Each structure stands twice: as structure tokens, then as C-alpha cells.
Amino acid sequence: MRLIQTNVAMIALAAAIVLVHPASIGPAMAQTATIRIPVLVPLTGPLALEGTSQRNGAVMALSNPPAGVRLEYEVLDTGAAPETAVNALERALARGGVSVIVAPIFGAQMLAMLPIAAERRVPLITISGTAQLTEMGNPYVFRFFPNDSVAKNAHALYVVEALGKKRPAVLFQTTAYGQSGRQHLAANFARLGATVVFEEGLDINLKDFLPALIKAKQASADALVLQLHAAPTALLLRQAASMGLSLPIVAGSAMHQPTTAALLQPAERKGVCAESASSPVSSVDPAVERWVAAYRREFGAEPDDFALTQYDGVRMAIDAAVQGARGPEEMRAALASRSFQGLAMAYKSDGVGNMAHDAIIMCYDDQGRPRIDRRYPRLG
Amino acid sequence: MSAIQLTANGLALGASYALVALGFVLIVNATGAVNFAQGDLAVAGGFLTVALAGAMNLPGGVLLPIAMAAMAGFGVVFAYLAYFPLRRQPPATVFISTIALGIVLENGANGLFGAAPRLGPPLLPGGPVELSGLVLPRQSLAIVAVTCVAIAGLHLVLMHTQFGRRLRATAQDAEMARAVGIPVGVMIAWTFALATGLAGAAGMLLSNQFFVAPGDGTNLMLKAYIAVTIGGWGRVWGAVAGALIVAFFETIVAVLLSQSAAEMLLYLAVLGVLGLRPRGLFGETIGRRA
């Protein structure tokens, strides 16, 4: 097995906004099929943290190919704008031979890429939670993360049924991710008989959350429900602790990320819960524990469920290749019809590309350590 | 109670924006060029203090002058990369070069520290301060205090020292300053050093209060630009007033209406200022804008 790694990332970063990360070629065996899987993720901009996890998960899967396939991949930064993602997609496709593409977690970028993927007939595998992606009748998108109809169902169920709260306040990001989550939360709370007493959209660059927290308190909310990205989640929780807010807080999936938790003191995250697809660092499954150890060795960081579910997604595509899927159309058919047991959960398309149907609620205990509090299997 | 807490938070936010805007104004005055990397320099200062805090077990009060001095030194390097080679080119060229260096800084921080937001060291240790039932974040108070000291110090240097007079002379008319023997190049390098030192202070203060992430520079720069536009192009006190107005919208107006409405009203207010007082609330000191 020969591994060639060309790390030109920093030089390219200095020269251009678009970044090219390590290109890796798997075992160079004469009779093996070559599968090309570009990894298009946001490594800069507001979603760089999530995009880096996504990249790491994909790279872990691509760096360890099974016998019978040769993997080629490159990592392209999709930055902060839809047009950058489209440019990256065009660049990846221009090189030819693409079987499947790892596509960004950033919902707005995915929405821009979907028509091109359909036109060029190339499947995209993503972990973006934006529900709309699989509601547009595009057969070339496969989501390996619970979409909002699953995740926000679990989110609302936990608030209403587990916590017994009926007057939540919802703070959401004004991005596609935030808007989509807010819409599903509102529908689920209504279905469960809860009344959203206050809601507000918050810009992703906002630094002061005190106004929104004060208004939630003034509205007599009995729980605070967040649909925010990683840094805003940590900042809001810090300011909530600073103002002595005593409401139970159930955050979005960003809060399960170890890097988000690391920004907070144990006392600031104590009692905070979050929905997620999985929590690899809390898992007691030996296979996940081995994966977590490998991830730590490889990247010197704590893995989150974005990394794990993206790993599972790429492993499913590789498994399809091992089973004989070669070009993009065969890969699409395999992803659409097969099931796959990943590390986080079992994946199978619901007919529109939603592969993940389980969700969990994890909470931080008195010492600020994460633990899985509830599991919600097969919600979607 | 909430109103006082909001005011404290707003003042801290405005003070942070003011430090970035002040550095921006200094460079505009000295060179006539817009340094669009000022926000990224503040972010660099934030990451520098994160690194220093990890390497040295020093209190924030000691780290602050170290970070400011290191960033001031980097400011001179920045000037030799982004300004001096292009000083005889049209102002837009420097404008582009600072954007380019800002992108290099952002991606350099991403490469060195990773994409995750980082928590910088506190200027003062300890939790919030409780005054008559009010819970005020100690760091917010520290930010306001440091900004007041920085502004007063800057005012003192600019208005009451020979060095300050030379800086002002360079800013007002570089050719005339050169004719009377003032080393204009050295003065401009000093200006970049001062501006970048202020950015370093802003970066450290922001990194503890609001975290620091590689992509934060653009937003900081935008806030500084708006502050300077509202206050008056090149006006030191205008920049401070403008920064406080921006923070007022983000805190007080946001609690009265909503964050989105506050954001829209802020930009409408900017349009209003540009329409009614095109030179800003305090007037312009120079006539060129990028």
C-alpha cells in the first residue's frame, strides 16, 4: 500500500481563498477500481469548525480503503458563500472521474450545489441538517445526519415530554440551518401542545445575546431552546450563566461538539442538554471507542458526531464501491437502495435521500461531563 | 437592573469596536489609505494572547502590554508588506493589499490554531462583580477601563508630545512634514505600530469576552468601518462615538425591538447620517475615502 500525501494547504491559502488539502491515493493495485471522492467542505468562515469535523471524518474513511478499491480524494474549501461552494464543485467535476462527492454541511451552499449535481448526475453525500435539501425531489442528495424533521422532533419531544415544559422560548440563527430548525421546532411544539412564548432570529456574527435572553425571561418562558451554530451557542450559554438565568436549556447539535464545550467552564455547561445524532465521546460501544482513539491520534482533537456521521457516510459509499458500484449513477443507485450499519447508527434512504433516522439527547452533568440522556430511534 | 446590565455589556462591546476603529482612523489619517485588515489584526492579537497564555503562566494584566508590544512590532512588518511598497500607487492598491494580507492572516490563524473558536485569558481573574444586586461581568468593566486608558493615552501622545505633533504633521501634509525634516516614513511606521498595538489590545479583550475565531476579522472590520463613517472619516473621537452608537443598536435597540430590526435600523441610520451629514457626525479630517 502506498500513501502519497501532498499538503499544499497553507501555501494555497496564502495565495488564494480556495484551499486544497491533502490529496491521497490509496493502494495502487493494478486490477483495483479507482473511486474518486472529492471532499468539499467549509474550512474557513463561520462554519469552519463543523466543516473541519466533516473533513476529518471523511479523511479518516478515505485514508483506510478496503482491498479491492483505490481511493483518490482531494479536499476543497467551500468557504462561507454559496458561490465558493459552486466553484469548488465545478473544479472537482472538471477533473473528471468523480463517483460521489462529500458535500458541505452548510445548507445554503448545498442548496446552490443541488441543481448542478442533478444536471451532472453526481451524488452528493452530506451531513447538512437543512430539511429542504431532501424536499426538492433531487435524487442525487444523500444526508447522513438526522434532518430537522428527525432532530427537531427529538428536540421538542425532550423539552415537552422529558422536561415537562410547555412554554419554550426559541432562539435560532438567521442562516438556512437556523430557519429550517426553527420551522420544524415550531411545528413539533404545536403538535405536542406547547406554546412558543418567544422566538428570535440571531445573526451568526452577533456577540451580545443579553437582549434576547432578557426578552425570553420577560416572556415567562419555562425553557430555552437553541438552534444556533457552535460559537454563538457557547457565547449565549456563557452570557446566560453570567446573568444567572435559571431556565433549562436544550441546545441544537452544536452543543454536543467537544470544541464547543471546551469554550465553557463546567459550571457554565452544567445541566445544559443538546440534541444530536450521536455522541462519540460518550459512547461505550467498543467499535466507537476504537474510532475515537484513532481520531484523537490522527487529528489531536476530540471527535464530534459530524465527524462520525460523515465517516459513516463515506464508508457506505466505499462499501458500495467494494460491492461493485463504479460510476456516479451506480453509486447513486447503491446509496438509494442499500442499508448500511455505521458506527453511529444504521443508515437507509427513506426514498428522498434521508439516510439517518435516529437522534439522541445528551446532557452535561454536575461536573460538566457529557452523557447520553435519551435515545430517540427511528423518528424519521 | 437589566437596563444597567445591558448598558455595561453595550459599553464593553462599543469599547472593543472603538479600539479597532481607533487603529483604523490612525492609519487613515497618516496614509489616506484604508486598512481593511484591521479586524484581522485584532483577531491575530487575540490568537497571540491565546498562545502566550498557553505558553506562559502570566496574569492578563501582564499579558496585555506584551501582546500590544508584539503586535506593534508586527504592525511595522505589516506596513512594510502592505503599505510601503505600494505607497505611490493609487489608494485602491493599498486597500486591496490590506484585504489580501487580512485573508492571509485569517487563513494563517486557521492553519495554526484550527477553525474552532478559542477562549483568551481574562484581563482580571475572578467571576462577575455584584453591586447592589447587579451582576456585572468583570471582563466587561475591564474592557471599558482599558479602552478609556488607551484613548486617554493616545490623546495625550498625539496632542501633548513632540512625537504626537510629528505624527499629526505627517497625517495632515506629508510633503510639508518632509520639507521641515520630519522622517515621514518612520512616522508612518510608528502609526502602523500604534494602530496594530491597539488592535492587539482589542483582540485580547475580545478573546476572553466573546471568544476569538479565525473568521471574526471581517465582522470587526465592518463594525469599525461603520463607526468611522458615522463619527466622521479620520476623527478619533468620532470613531469612539460611532463605535458606541453601533453597540447601542446591538444592545439597547435589540432589546426594544429585535436583533434583526436593530441591525436594519443601524444600517438605515448609517444611510441617514450619510444623507444628512455626509462627512459624519463630527466631520472629516481628510477628504479621501476608499
ipTM of the predicted structure? 0.82
Helix (H/G/I), strand (E/B), else coil: B257? coil
Size of interface A-B (CB pairs under 8 A): 105
pLDDT (mean) for A85-108? 95
Q: Write out the three cell numbers for A176.
A: 438556512
Nearest CA in chain A to B220: A205
Per-residue pLDDT tens listing for chain B (290 residues)? 577 778 888 898 899 899 999 998 889 888 888 899 999 999 999 999 999 998 988 888 899 999 999 999 999 999 999 999 998 888 788 889 999 999 999 989 988 988 788 999 998 887 777 777 677 778 888 889 999 998 898 889 888 999 889 988 888 888 899 999 999 999 999 999 999 999 999 999 999 888 999 989 999 999 999 999 998 877 888 899 999 999 999 999 999 999 999 999 999 999 999 899 888 888 766 554 44
Is pLDDT of A274 > 90?
A: yes
Residue A263 contacts B, CB cutoff 8 Å = yes
Nearest to B220 by CA among B129, B120, B102: B102
> Using one digit for the tens of pLDDT, what is the confidence trace for A333-352?
999 999 999 999 999 999 99
Q: For residue A313, list its beta bridge partners.
A: none
Tell me how many degrees the CA angle B245-B246-B250 measures, rounded to the nearest 5. Answer: 115
The alpha carbon of residue B164 is apart from the nearest alpha carbon of chain A, in Å, by: 34
Judge contact between B192 and B79, C-beta under 8 A. yes
Helix (H/G/I), strand (E/B), else coil: A199? strand
- Closest CB to A231: pick one of B2, B117, B258: B117
DSSP secondary structure, A234-295, as one string? HHHHHHHHHTT--S-EEE-GGGGSHHHHTTS-HHHHTT-EEEES--GGG---HHHHHHHHHH
Cβ-defined contact of B259 to A203 (cutoff 8 Å): yes
Domains located in chain A, CATH noted:
4-146+284-349 (3.40.50.2300), 148-276+360-376 (3.40.50.2300)
pLDDT (mean) for A323-331? 93
Helix H, strand E, coil C: the string for B133-178 is: CEEECHHHHHHHHHHHHHHHHHHHHHHHCHHHHHHHHHHHCHHHHH
Q: How far, in Å, CA of B275 to CA of B290, rounded?
A: 18
pLDDT confidence band for A257 (50 / 70 / 90): confident
Kindly state the percentage of chain A with pLDDT values over 90.
Answer: 70
Name the packing angle between helices B38-55 and B184-209 (round to 10°).
60
CB atoms within 10 A of CB A10: 15
Q: How far, in Å, CA of A126 to CA of A128, rounded?
A: 6
Judge contact between A25 and A3, C-beta under 8 A. yes
Q: Which chain A residues have a beta carbon less than 8 Å from that of B116?
A: 49, 52, 230, 259, 262
Is pLDDT of A3 > 50?
A: no
Is pLDDT of A20 > 90?
A: no
Q: What is the rounded average pLDDT for all residues in chain A?
A: 89
DSSP code of A125?
A: E
Residues making up chain B, counted from first to last: 290
pLDDT at B284: 67
**A 231-250 residues inside an 8 A Cβ radius of B:** 231, 234-235, 242-244
pLDDT (mean) for A126-130? 90
Cβ-defined contact of B211 to A263 (cutoff 8 Å): yes
Half-sphere exposure of A216 (CA within 13 A, CB side): 29
Which range has highest mean pLDDT (A166-180, A332-346, A358-372)?
A: A332-346
**Cα–Cα separations (whole angstroms), residue A16 to A13, A39, A50, A73, B110:** 5, 18, 22, 20, 14
The alpha carbon of residue B246 is apart from the nearest alpha carbon of chain A, in Å, by: 12
Judge contact between A88 and A26, C-beta under 8 A. no
Cβ-defined contact of B255 to A211 (cutoff 8 Å): yes
Q: For residue A254, list its beta bridge partners.
A: none
Q: Which chain B residues have a beta carbon less than 8 Å from that of A202?
A: 259
Nearest to A112 by CA among A12, A42, A13: A42
Cβ-defined contact of B104 to A235 (cutoff 8 Å): no
Q: Which chain A residues have a beta carbon less than 8 Å from that of B219?
A: 205
